[in-house]
Chains A and B, each alone.
Chain A
Amino acid sequence: MDVLYTIFIDPFVQMAEAPDFLLQVVWEGFVAGILYALIALGFVLIYKASGVFNFAQGIMVVFAGLSLVGLHEMGVPALLALIMAIGVMAILAICIEKFVMRPLVGQPDIILLMATIGMTYFLIGLGEFIFGGEPKQMITEELGLPTGSTAFEMDNGGLVILQHIDIAAAVIALIMVGGLAVFFNRTRIGRALRAVADDHTAALSVGISLNQIWAIVWFAAGIVALATGIMWGARSDVSFALEIVALKALPVLILGGFTSIPGAVIGGLIIGIGEKIGEIYWGGLVGGGIESWLAYMIALIFLLFRPQGLFGEKIIERI
């Protein structure tokens, strides 16, 4: 009975006893979730337009962050460095489209997946070669991002501390999701993107340039990566360890569906909050550190009941 109590009752008692702490945990999870959602957003953009499962999104985040910080270290003013980092992502997008995606059109999923992992190797090597392998400090203040924190007092006297940078991250993520939604639904290029996502051949036949669209999509994913890199870098630092964290976007996508932008956000929040709560309240029972696999297990359990993901369309199989 003791075991059942510690697993099923005690964590909830702890939550009820310290609501301020619970709120803090949920907030931490919320912020982590937003960052997962941002990475997942990059995945979704590329998956929607080209059906490529982009494992390199994680390293693109690192690479974008590194270019920004690295350029600043070389003496470029912060804002100019930001613009140049955007330029770097644009060049990267064009190169990826020209040298990787275009020759591999029509190959099976796993080959494209492998090509993006090959890109990961390449970018890790290149990033370390140019900027060095040590973790770097993000130039938060120079970019005009808020630092510091605000503490809210609860009714029972507890404190909930919100970092300003986290609030900024949430706002920027919201703006980006909104902006992407407008871009996809209201602009000419956005409509072309959706047409390509729907059917490559049909899109080609009405005069949409696939190459151009893909370069744009990779560029958009690069911008998302840059934003993610700045936010994540401000919370910890810019290092290659982020690349593994970016794999967390996979369970997020499983929950949210591979093609849905709102799904990516909701999935990110579920995973972020779920794994923080799990780690704090249940992790201690098995020795802690369960954050590294809890997200995958959550996704696995969801998948067992809904093999197409939470928001995915029903899979119909024919012979």
Chain B
Amino acid sequence: MFYRETGQFKTSYTADQQIFPIRQDRIGVAIILAVALLVVPFVANEFVLSAIVIPFLVLALATIGLNILTGYAGQLSLGTGGFMGVGAYACYKLVTIFPDVNVIIHILLSGFFAAAVGVVFGLPSLRIKGLYLAVTTLAAQFFLEWCFIRIPWLYNYNPSAAIEVPGKTLFGVLITGPAASGVARYFVVLAIVIGMTLLMKNLIRGRIGRQWMMIRDMDIAAELMGVRPLIAKLSAFAVSSYICGVAGAMFVFFYLGASEPAVFSITLSFQILFMAIIGGLGSLVGSFFGAAFIWILPILLRVWLPAMGFDIGAEAIFQMAQIIIGALIIFFLIVEPHGLARLWAIGKEKLRVWPFPYA
């Protein structure tokens, strides 16, 4: 009843083609942004910001990156963790080599290295499809992981084989490294994630995004209609890896503070693939839902289970949380294979025609 576009007339193409054509959507987004900017940083304590909100935003960005490739262009990838790692290590090297340049520029640049690697491993996608492609991205994943361990130059010959983030400032405020405050990091992460999401939304609505979707729906038909698969598939790999690379750099610089190769293992790839699928393939808002579900729920479970009287020790709680997550994943796949984004869309649709069952 509140959510209804009756009476909202569009008198220009610009108004008709805006990202949120319905007024209630615009109000909703404005409220969410206002909460994110004005409420969260002042209400949330250091732990909530550092352990929940910041990684949630970063992983949502990585999920958007994977969604570009798997959800919009239809190329299954199990190498997300590896591509994120490339971004992280590239950023680390850039910071070491050019310490005077602002770290934000480094983070945005590091994505290009990931994009280049992504294009190289995307080349087989021109001949290989479906599950077979998953194996080639697994090759990327394991090869890159091996590189992070075996090439000491990448971690500046650090004997512990880990990368440690130096403290860097933006406008005189410390934003990276262990000493940076949660609020400062939160604002930087939020700004990058919002910027990237807007950029991707417009890319998807445009010519290249529509080409990706044509390739996804049927590549031969798309080719016959004048989409060049080479350009479309490789650009999807490049854009997706760019986003993943930036997310990887942010993951280390704003969340972990220090990282070892094991961070970017196949587990991370699976985790992000889950976020994309549980959230909904081919949906940007779904990426945020999925990231929230997979990242925040286990943390909440670990807090809630003892609170509800299941006092069975930290290790058992951890295992219980994993069992519940596994069961919930299967449950959600059964209930709505198109992800939380579809549930969200169905909910909005119901609201529009309420109190009637059909429009």
Encoded as 1 (CB less than 8 Å from any B CB) or 0, chain A from 288 to 301 comes to 11101100110110
| Residue in chain B with minimal CB distance to A305 | B127
**Which residues of chain A in 203-220 are interfacial with respect to chain B, using CB atoms and an 8 Å cutoff?**
none
Compute how far the CA of A251 lies from the CA of B131 in the bound complex, rounded to whole angstroms. 11
Task: Contact check, A115 vs B333: say whether CB atoms are below 8 A apart.
Answer: yes
Q: Given A129-B316, A319-B220, are A117 and B270 also a contact pair (CB < 8 Å)?
A: yes
Q: Taking the complex as formed, is B39 at the interface, i.e. its CB lies under 8 A from any CB of chain A?
A: no
Q: Taking the complex as formed, is A199 at the interface, i.e. its CB lies under 8 A from any CB of chain B?
A: no
| Residue in chain B with minimal CB distance to A104 | B334
Cβ distance A83 to chain B, nearest Cβ, rounded Å: 26
Compute how far the CA of A53 lies from the CA of B139 in the bound complex, rounded to whole angstroms. 18
CB contacts (< 8 Å) of A121 on chain B: these are 322-323, 325-326, 329
Compute how far the CA of A12 lies from the CA of B319 in the bound complex, rounded to whole angstroms. 49
Q: Taking the complex as formed, is A244 at the interface, i.e. its CB lies under 8 A from any CB of chain B?
A: yes
CB contacts (< 8 Å) of A304 on chain B: these are 124, 127-128
Task: Contact check, B128 vs A303: say whether CB atoms are below 8 A apart.
Answer: yes
Task: Contact check, A300 vs B135: say whether CB atoms are below 8 A apart.
Answer: yes
Q: Taking the complex as formed, is A156 at the interface, i.e. its CB lies under 8 A from any CB of chain B?
A: no
Compute how far the CA of A80 lies from the CA of B315 in the bound complex, rounded to whole angstroms. 30
Task: Contact check, A122 vs B135: say whether CB atoms are below 8 A apart.
Answer: no
Q: Given A104-B334, A300-B139, are A129 and B323 also a contact pair (CB < 8 Å)?
A: yes
Compute how far the CA of A215 lies from the CA of B49 in the bound complex, rounded to whole angstroms. 46
| Residue in chain A with minimal CB distance to B270 | A117
* Number of residues on chain B facing chain A (CB within 8 A): 46
| Residue in chain B with minimal CB distance to A126 | B323
Q: Which of A67-75, A105-113, A140-148 contacts B (4 or more CB under 8 A)?
A: A105-113
CB contacts (< 8 Å) of B187 on chain A: these are none
Compute how far the CA of A128 lies from the CA of B142 in the bound complex, rounded to whole angstroms. 26
CB contacts (< 8 Å) of B281 on chain A: these are 110
Task: Contact check, B149 vs A296: say whether CB atoms are below 8 A apart.
Answer: no
CB contacts (< 8 Å) of A110 on chain B: these are 70, 76, 277, 281
Compute how far the CA of A111 lies from the CA of B132 in the bound complex, rounded to whole angstroms. 16
Compute how far the CA of A113 lies from the CA of B130 in the bound complex, rounded to whole angstroms. 12
Residue of A122, A124, A297 near B327 (CB, 8 A) is: A122
Task: Contact check, B319 vs A125: say whether CB atoms are below 8 A apart.
Answer: yes
Q: Given A307-B128, A319-B224, are A293 and B330 also a contact pair (CB < 8 Å)?
A: no
Compute how far the CA of A28 lies from the CA of B218 in the bound complex, rounded to whole angstroms. 45
CB contacts (< 8 Å) of B129 on chain A: these are 307
Task: Contact check, B131 vs A109: say whether CB atoms are below 8 A apart.
Answer: yes
Compute how far the CA of A289 lies from the CA of B148 in the bound complex, rounded to whole angstroms. 12
Cβ distance A71 to chain B, nearest Cβ, rounded Å: 19
Q: Taking the complex as formed, is B108 at the interface, i.e. its CB lies under 8 A from any CB of chain A?
A: no
Compute how far the CA of A258 lies from the CA of B132 in the bound complex, rounded to whole angstroms. 10
Task: Contact check, B333 vs A250: say whether CB atoms are below 8 A apart.
Answer: no
Cβ distance B124 to chain A, nearest Cβ, rounded Å: 6
Q: Given A109-B130, A129-B323, are A292 and B138 also a contact pair (CB < 8 Å)?
A: no
Band of interface residues on A? 35 or more
Residue of B70, B138, B142, B326 near A123 (CB, 8 A) is: B326
Which label, helix, strand, loop or mixed, suits the secondary structure of the B interface? helix
Cβ distance B150 to chain A, nearest Cβ, rounded Å: 4
Other than A125-B319, A293-B146, give 14 A-B pairs with Cβ distance below 8 A. A104-B333, A104-B334, A108-B337, A114-B273, A118-B333, A121-B325, A123-B326, A129-B316, A290-B146, A292-B142, A296-B135, A296-B143, A299-B139, A304-B124
Task: Contact check, A119 vs B146: say whether CB atoms are below 8 A apart.
Answer: no
Task: Contact check, B124 vs A303: say whether CB atoms are below 8 A apart.
Answer: yes
CB contacts (< 8 Å) of A115 on chain B: these are 329-330, 333-334
Compute how far the CA of A292 lies from the CA of B143 in the bound complex, rounded to whole angstroms. 8
Q: Taking the complex as formed, is A177 at the interface, i.e. its CB lies under 8 A from any CB of chain B?
A: no
Cβ distance B145 to chain A, nearest Cβ, rounded Å: 7
Q: Taking the complex as formed, is B180 at the interface, i.e. its CB lies under 8 A from any CB of chain A?
A: no
Cβ distance A25 to chain B, nearest Cβ, rounded Å: 21
Encoded as 1 (CB less than 8 Å from any A CB) or 0, chain B from 265 to 278 comes to 01000100110010
Encoded as 1 (CB less than 8 Å from any B CB) or 0, chain A from 21 to 34 comes to 00000000000000
Compute how far the CA of A208 lies from the CA of B143 in the bound complex, rounded to whole angstroms. 45
Compute how far the CA of A272 lies from the CA of B131 in the bound complex, rounded to whole angstroms. 22
CB contacts (< 8 Å) of A129 on chain B: these are 316, 319-320, 323
**Which residues of chain B in 312-340 are interfacial with respect to chain A, using CB atoms and an 8 Å cutoff?**
315-316, 319-327, 329-330, 333-334, 337
CB contacts (< 8 Å) of B337 on chain A: these are 104, 107-108, 111
Task: Contact check, B330 vs A100: say whether CB atoms are below 8 A apart.
Answer: yes
Top-4 shortest CB links A-B? A122-B326, A125-B322, A121-B326, A296-B139
| Residue in chain A with minimal CB distance to B333 | A115
CB contacts (< 8 Å) of A108 on chain B: these are 337
Compute how far the CA of A130 lies from the CA of B345 in the bound complex, rounded to whole angstroms. 40
Task: Contact check, A114 vs B277: say whether CB atoms are below 8 A apart.
Answer: yes
| Residue in chain B with minimal CB distance to A308 | B132
Q: Taking the complex as formed, is B287 at the interface, i.e. its CB lies under 8 A from any CB of chain A?
A: no
Task: Contact check, B135 vs A289: say whether CB atoms are below 8 A apart.
Answer: no
Compute how far the CA of A83 lies from the CA of B238 in the bound complex, rounded to whole angstroms. 52
CB contacts (< 8 Å) of A247 on chain B: these are 138, 266
Compute how far the CA of A110 lies from the CA of B70 in the bound complex, rounded to whole angstroms. 10
Task: Contact check, A118 vs B326: say whether CB atoms are below 8 A apart.
Answer: yes
Q: Taking the complex as formed, is A120 at the interface, i.e. its CB lies under 8 A from any CB of chain B?
A: yes
Compute how far the CA of A290 lies from the CA of B321 in the bound complex, rounded to whole angstroms. 35
Q: Taking the complex as formed, is B190 at the interface, i.e. its CB lies under 8 A from any CB of chain A?
A: no
Task: Contact check, A293 vs B316: say whether CB atoms are below 8 A apart.
Answer: no
Q: Taking the complex as formed, is A317 at the interface, i.e. its CB lies under 8 A from any CB of chain B?
A: yes
Q: Given A114-B274, A250-B138, A319-B220, are A122 and B323 also a contact pair (CB < 8 Å)?
A: yes
Compute how far the CA of A239 lies from the CA of B149 in the bound complex, rounded to whole angstroms. 23
Task: Contact check, A289 vs B132: say whether CB atoms are below 8 A apart.
Answer: no
Q: Taking the complex as formed, is A254 at the interface, i.e. its CB lies under 8 A from any CB of chain B?
A: yes
